[in-house]
Amino acid sequence: MRCFIGFLVPRALKKPIVELQEKIKKLPIKAKFVEPENLHLCFSFLGEKTEKEIEEISAKLDELSKNFKSFEVMVKGVKLIPNEKYVRVIALDVFDENRVLEGLRLEVKRVIGGDSKPAHLTLCRVKNISEKANFLEEIRKIKDISVGKFTLSSLQLIKSELRRTGPIYTALHESKLG
């Protein structure tokens, strides 16, 4: 099974994120937008794992989660990844004032491994930008947008099933923080 460790975005936050995606769809780009039901934070992409490995990862995740308490996370600011010159992904920045999120991400990487990047919430994967200057000008107007906050109270081991219509994410295991 193809898996990652992350957190599916709470329902209350999906509406403002989808509204932002709708604004971005009007820009001069071709992109594959993340479906509302698939909006998530990814702490570490693990790739293909067996049932036995999933059990081991779940146990490690339970143990690791005991060392962190629930905390508030802010979703604010549009990020162009890797940069403005070569945009592959449009995302939202995700952070907390005390940098607990980054500590949690680094602990997941240390204990479980995988491919881990700083926290962000992917809005779309960019295929092509037809009018770059116009696109960047419009992005700068919404760059500091605040989408909202939520309490991160658990980590999830999520299965990513690739289908012709797009991926389907299913939480296989959830580890409560604290």
Catalytic machinery residues: 40, 120
Task: Identify which of 147, 146, 157 has the alpha carbon closest to the alpha carbon of residue 51.
Answer: 157
Work out the number of other CB atoms within 10 angstroms of the CB of residue 158.
22
> Which candidate, 6, 24, 19, places its Cα nearest to that of 94?
6
CA torsion angle 65 67 69 74 (round to 10): -70
115's tokens? 């491919």
Structure tokens at 173: 């295991």
Nearest CA to 132 out of 74, 70, 55, 80 is that of: 80
